[in-house]
Each structure stands twice: as structure tokens, then as C-alpha cells.
Structure 1
């Protein structure tokens, strides 16, 4: 990514690079957010902080909108935006590296094998999702990194004896999930699968191990519950405000259907509470620890949502609170013909598109039936699938189901994201699940890494992923688009800047 793509012209990925840089500059000047598609809020906070830090170190001349050169000076304008976009690409590379390291570290905690974790981290860093994200600025990267990390924290926590550390992990997972939602609402799909993953991967412990830890478990439960309640009251008020502001949304929302608008948010909350209760019951968690853990999750989620108050804008609150209607707006724009006349979210047109997405997702896995958009991580998926079958046949049924669950969730997410097109960047949400599925299988077959022949085959597959990751960046450097194609939408999304040199 440092060789291919970093020095490309600033207009190469104008959507999203220019829009996200623009909002980092807006926040630098203390101006309100203007773009709410994702809604992108969390990412704008990070970009603003990144620009400020680089400016303070003398590495970035401009960190605010007011410091931009006049649009009449074409050379200075081009140079300023080139520096800003390169700074944004550097942020993306840093986030990719951080995500890969955190991912590998948590996988090691989960599977207990350093070799498997290292291979998983390498494949993760060079998977189609992160390589696409690392060459440009996109809100998906931060959102996916946060929610995937939350999933791994939960899986690590439910496989440890009850105590203070699992509670901290669960609280942090709740916080990251809330932050992922305020960055890009699509994170909700993976977040809703976390309770099921916790149930499948959770581990029971003997009473002696379960009671080890705090001397006064109920006192800790009470304190944590009080903190959670203190954070939940304003967080729920924010959600209620967003639901009440449904009609004031910047985009034309349509009702979900079946009377669910304004009510499905309660179903989501119920799903979270039910999931935690079922996990606690199945794993036979002591009541005090179960209350503490649940309160920690709710405290983290509430704090994540309350981040909306740092740079409050009611449109962010409306988008996060009404995430189904918000996502449907952009689906309806992309599939205007298929959804023509559909006056609610749930309808025949949407279901047809979803079924088509499922079919295409499965066809892509065969390569032959759908040879386009083939991810380089497909060999990892094949390995995970074959490994799950092998585990099932030798009697390790639970491990096989766990691996298959991760793989099916990844495919399900890809089918859902097909409503916005099969974009490479969305693999940032799905690649980590497929890779974790393969790592889970490999950790239960250590002989594959001990035997020379199979080890070489596995390392060869990893090398193939790394090599294939460079194919598209090289192609991009040889296929520079015509930047004037962006001139139509730029005044709408970036009204405070003058025309770019390529738009004159």
C-alpha cells in the first residue's frame, strides 16, 4: 500500500477521500457536520484529531478549512489537497496495521496458538477488505475494526472463568460496538450476531473457578449496575430523541412496515438482554457475575452512544436511532428500478434483492458460476469449510459448528451488503470472520503445521493471498479515472470550498 496507491492523485478516490478530508477540516474549524450518509460521525472525530496531531508536529501545513489557499490559486489548492489526502491515506494505513495487530493478538488469546494467530493476522492485513480500505479513506475501516474487535473481546471473555478481567473485556466490547454504530450504522448487523457467537463459543467452568475473584461480587454488581443506569438514562434519551425526529431526517425515510418503525429499536434492546440472559444461564454463570457482566456491556454501549454528544448534531442521532430506514434510503437509490413504488422497507422488492444477493454470494464461492469479484481470501474460506467437515467426521461436532457459524455469518453479511453493491471495501466486515473460522479449524489440527508438506501448502496459500493483494493496487495505478466525473456532486457534498482545479 505504501508503494502502490499512496502517491496517487488526490482525486483518485474522490468519493470518499475528498468528502472525509473536508469534514476533518470542518471539525478543525469547529463547524457543524454536513455529511450524514453513514453517518460517518466517529470517523470525522478521528480525522480531526489526526490532522490536529500532524499539524502540531509540523507534518501537515493545513488542518482547518479556513487555512485552505484560495481556489483561484490552482497550484496551491492542488498541493494542499494532495497533502491532506495523503495524510488521510497514512491514517488508513495506520488503522489497518492497528486492526491487524489487535486481531492477531485476540485470535492468539482465543485459540492459544501463536503460529495460527500470526498467519491469521497476515491474511487479515492482506485480505481484500483491508487492502481496499488502506489505499483510501473510508468510514467502513474504523467501524469494522471496532465491531470485529468487540466480537473477539466477547469470545475471549466467555471462554475465561468469571472475574474482573472478563467484565472489563465485555464492557470494552460494548463501548466499541456503540462507537462502531455511530461511525457506520451497518455495524449493527454483525453486532446482532455477537450474542449467538457468545453462546456457541462460551465455556463452562467448575464452581471453584467460577467463585474465584472478587470478595464481594454483589457489591461490584451493584456499583456496575448504578454506573450503567447513570449512562443509560441519557443514552436512551438520545435514542428516543432520534426516533421522535424520524420526520425531520435529512433523507426521505420510509416506514419499516408491520408497525415496526419506532419499535424495532426496543426489539434490538430486548435481543441484547435476552442474549446475555441465555448465555449466563447456559454457561451457568453465578448470578452476581452475570449481573456485573450485563451491566458492563450496557455501560459500554451507552457510553459509545453518548459519544454523539461530543459534537452534537441531531441528524447523527436520527440516523443512528433509525438505522433500518437510514440504510434503506441508499439501497433504494441504488436499486431504484427494483424498489420502484415500494413505500416501506419490508417488501417484495427488497426480499427479491436479498435472495439475489444470497445467490450471487454463493456463486462467487464456486468461481466458475460467478468469476467476478473473487476475493483472494476465498482459499481461506475453502480451507475453513473443508476443515469443518473434517472436524465433524472425527467427532468434534461443536468445533465444526462454530467454524461453520462464522463462515455463514460472513456470507450472510456479504449478501446483506450486496444491497449497496458488491464493494471490495465491505469485506472489512466479512474477511475477519472467514479468517477466524479458518484459524479455529487450524488450531484444532496442529499436525497440519507440524508436517512439512501440509505446512508448505498452508504457507503457500498465505503467500498467494499476499501476492494477490497487490494485483488491484497495481491495476489502479494504470487506470487513472477522469476526475471531472466528480465535479457534479462535489458542490453538493463540499459547499464551503471553491471549485477544484480539475473542475474549471
Structure 2
């Protein structure tokens, strides 16, 4: 039997559906082997914080965690616990159902069942996002084999492999914005009568992402610029948007946008009110006023949409409809905060950069121009060191893709594929920029989920245009080596966490603040707690 010379055939032997199924299966096996059965207090940050809030809210209490603010994560775990309880599968679904710390055996059993249930919720969330990523990746490129490689790279990126076994806010926040970007790239390349609806859906996803983690604002700000070079000859408006009927659709979009914006206005006014923001410990970032950069960002989004329309022959009617659907989608996403209203959530979500600046390891330096420049330069240096992997290793296999993407951009330029090179370059610059800011928080494994997909999408786009490289005699060994390294390194952090010998005592440093009504058996009583 003669082996195929096509590297893509050899790297994707299970086909499309079989490949996706294998990726999910390996992830589940990894989850069970190094995740599900790990002692319940091992990943307490943020497992305990999310689970505590879900338990307290199921008991009729209020949300107590608002740091960034994990809104959808907490609500989803709360609903998951309630659903499992109704099915008779979980007794420890409320705070009052957790035995007192004095009964260590009963406490451990109850918390173990709650944490196990929470980890299953994390696995289901990551699996759903992976399937959505696969569906969009399949439409993003012309060859399903490239999409399959991208799905594998995404599934076994360091961030996703960590998030499918722990409860954190980044997975939903980052993935919703990445899915929005992929939707918009597809829509930017292929015009259709429903394209403004896709834009509205993307805006909804971005806002939902922001409600879960304020760091999503960085991706949201990058998306309008990233989309500009993705137009092509099929981007021009279809016939419908150049007829008189198009203005009826614009009118309908205007009505929807007005209704949604009016409904969301009280949330906007409340979140941007100086008294409320100041009471939450936030300081205005620009010009001594809250809301300045938020308005500027809206202007950038609108300007990029108009510029895209001019570059790629999108009609005025479709452009206006898309702008209106952006307003409608973002407003509907913001209205999700009314599902379980709390003033703190609203303030944090609507002042994301003010909240992020409180996380910086040197906030006093970030407050001056010279200090901010110094932090930025040190952040860039930190990213470069990490991307080399040699100067600073990490559980981030996606950095190996950059070793191919950067030369790939140079090859694309030499071949005259300048638009493709520009697309990949902007995606890489966005990843580097967001990672630069993440360095100030140590650029932990959990943060990789914000930028690894940008790197993967850049690789997809390049390979789709440089498809003949698959026939190179070096293509298969390089691709096979990368796949093996990718899967192996992605398991490093989960295995390290599972084998960790450190005890739970470090939780005592913050449990009194984040778990005010839950006493832990290994911590001395401090402040108000439930006994």
C-alpha cells in the first residue's frame, strides 16, 4: 500500500466527524485521569468561589463574588446544581446542605460531591464551546482537514485543557468573543441577506463574554480592526440590500435596536454613575470621568464598520442595518445582567478597564505615563521570552505554531498573498498585545484561552492559502511532531496539578473574604462564618 504524499491526509486519518469525536474522547479521558477525582480542594481558586456562590444563591442568598465578575459561570453552576438536585443526583446543592466543618467526614463528602458536579459542568461547557469552534472552523477554511487540525490545536491548547476541569470565568468570556470573531470573518467573506443578523449575534456574544470576565474588553476592542482585511470580491452586498425593500429591513432593525437600548439604558446609567463606580473602589481611567473610553470604543466600532463598507462595497442600507443590530445585540447581552441583578455586577461590567487596573502588579506605576510605558515594554519582553519557549518555557504548546506562522507570513508576502499575510499579521499582533497586558498578572495558563485561538486562526488562514505546502516532504514529520508535542504539553499543567502535594492551608488566606458563610475544617475561624 502506497502512503499518501499529502501530509493533511496522513495527519487527519479519522475524517471530520471521527476526528472531532476522537478529540472529545481524549479530552474526556484526560479529564477523568487528571481532574475529576483530584481532591476537592486542590483547585480551590476559583472552584470554591464559584461553587460557594452557586450554593448560596440556591439557598436564597445573594451573589458574593464580583471580582471580574464570573456572572454567567456562577449562574450556570447554580442552575446545574439545582437541576441535578431535582433529578436526585446531588444533595449538596445549597449552602445549608453542607454539613458543618466540625463533622469533617460529612463536610468532605458533601464538598467533594459539589466540586465533582462543578467539574462536570466545566467539562460540558468546554465541550460545547469546542463543538461550536469546530462548526465555525469548518466554514472558515476551504479544506476540512485544515479545520480538523485547528480543532485539535484548540482542544489541546493549554488554556482549554485547564478550563475543562476547573471552574473559572475565562473560558466563557474568551470563547464567546472568539466565536463572535469567527462568525464575523465568515460573514465578512460571504455576503448574504441575513448578514446584519450575524453581526447582531456576534455583538450579543461579545457582551455576554464581557459579563463573565472584564478582560474580554481587549478582544472586543481588537475585533473591529481585525475584520477590515477580511473582505473579498464576495463581500459586496447582495441584491436585496440594494433595493427599496432593504429600507424596510433597516426600519425593523431600528425598532429592535431602540427597544433593546431603552430596556438596557437603566443598566448603563447605573453602571456608569460616578457614585456607584467610586463606591465599588474604582477610579476613572481617562479625563477624570467614567464612560469616556467606552464611548470612544463605540466610535471605533462604528468607524471600522463604515470603513469596511467603503472598502468592500457594502451598501448604505446594509451598513446601517448592521450598526443597528450591533446596538440591539449588545443591549440584549447587557440585559442578561437582569437575570440575577446586582449593582456590583453592573458596575464591574461597564467599567472593565478600571477594574482591570486594580489587578496590575504595580498599579501605582500604571497610573503615570512613564510608568505605564515601562510596564508595557517589560510586558512585551515577557511575551517574546514566552513565545520562544526556550527562554521561558510554559504549558502552552500553541507557541510552537508561532514558529511556523511567522515564516508563513513571510512566504505569503513573497508569493504575493499580501492580504492573507496582513490578516495573519493582525491576528498575531492582537495576540501579542493582549498577552503583553496579561504578563502583568503572570500570564497564567488560564489566560491562554484569550489569545491561543487568535494564533490558531492565523495558522488556519495561512495554511488555507499556502495549501501546496502539504506536499512538501517535510510537511508530515513537522506536522506529526507538532501534534504530539501539542497534546503532550497540554497535559503538563493538569498532571502537575493532580500530583501536587501542597495542602489546602493556603485557602485560609482568602476564605474569610470569599467564603464568608462557609467554615473550612482546616482553617481557624476568622470573621463571620457558618458553623
The structure 2 residue matched to 1:349, chosen from 352, 365, 371, is 371
Alpha-carbon distance in structure 1 between the residues aligned to 2:398 and 2:478: 15
Q: Which SS does the other structure have where 1:487 is aligned?
A: helix
Instruction: Say whether residues 1:433 and 2:463 are aligned partners.
Output: no
Number of matched residues? 495
In 2, the alpha carbon distance for the partners of 1:207 and 1:452 equals: 40
In structure 2, what is the Cα distance between the partners aligned to 1:101 and 1:40?
A: 22
1:364 pairs with 386, 407, 431, which one? 386
Q: Does the 8 Å CA contact 2:469/2:475 hold for their aligned counterparts? A: yes
- Report the alpha carbon displacement of residue 144 of structure 1 after superposing the two structures with TM: 0.9
Stretch of structure 1 that moved more, 483-492 or 428-437: 483-492
Q: In structure 1, list runs of 5 or more residues that go unmatched.
A: none
1:399 to 389, 406, 420: 420
Where does residue 161 of structure 2 map in the other structure? Answer: 131
1:85 aligns with 2:115: yes
Corresponding residue for 1:49? 79
What is residue 252 of structure 1 aligned with on the other side? 281
Residue 501 (structure 2) aligns with: 480
Change (3 A) 1:251 1:208: closer
Q: Is the 8 A contact 1:251 1:329 kept in 2?
A: no
Q: Report the CA distance shift for 1:404/1:294 in structure 2 as closer, same or farther (over 3 A).
A: same
| TM-score when normalising by structure 2 | 0.88
1:324 alignment partner, SS class: helix
Q: What displacement does 1:108 show?
A: 1.7
| 1:297-312 paired onto structure 2 within 5 Å | 297-312=326-341
**Shift of residue 62, structure 1, vs aligned partner:** 2.2
The structure-2 alpha-carbon separation of the partners of 1:208 and 1:102, relative to structure 1 and needing over 3 Å to count, comes to closer
Q: Provide the residue aligned with 2:440 in structure 1.
A: 419
- What is the distance in 1 between the residues matched to 2:429 and 2:458? 10
Deviation per CA, 1:185-218: give whole Å up to 9, x if none: 1101011111112211123438784447998211
C-alpha displacement of 1:90: 1.3
1:348 match: secondary structure: helix
1:95 aligns to 2:117 (yes or no)? no
Task: State the match for 1:158 in structure 2.
Answer: 188
Structure 2 counterpart of 1:499: 520
Partner Cα distance (1:81, 1:364) in 2: 37
Q: 1:125 to 1:250 in 2, by over 3 A?
A: farther
Distance 1:215 1:481, change over 3 A: farther
Q: Which moved more, 1:358-367 or 1:139-148?
A: 358-367
* Residue 57 of structure 1: how far off its partner (Å): 2.6
Consecutive unaligned residues in structure 2, runs of 5 or more: 1-30, 526-531
Separation (CA, whole Å) in 2 of partners of 1:67 and 1:379: 47
- Larger deviation: 415-424 or 202-211? 202-211
Q: 1:451 Cα deviation (Å)?
A: 5.1
d(CA) in 1 for partners of 2:230, 2:89: 45
Match of 1:172 in 2: 201
Partner residue, 1:23: 53
After superposition, residues 134-283 of structure 1 pair within 5 angstroms as 134-164=164-194, 166-205=195-234, 209-211=238-240, 216-247=245-276, 249=278, 251-283=280-312
Work out the CA distance in 1 between the residues paired with 2:106 and 2:87: 21
Query: Which is worse superposed, 39-48 or 60-69?
Result: 60-69
The farther-off stretch of 287-296 and 198-207 is: 198-207
User: Who is 2:325 aligned against?
Assistant: 296
Distance 1:208 1:19 in 2: 48
1:74 aligns with 2:104: yes
Q: RMSD across aligned C-alpha pairs, in angstroms?
A: 2.1
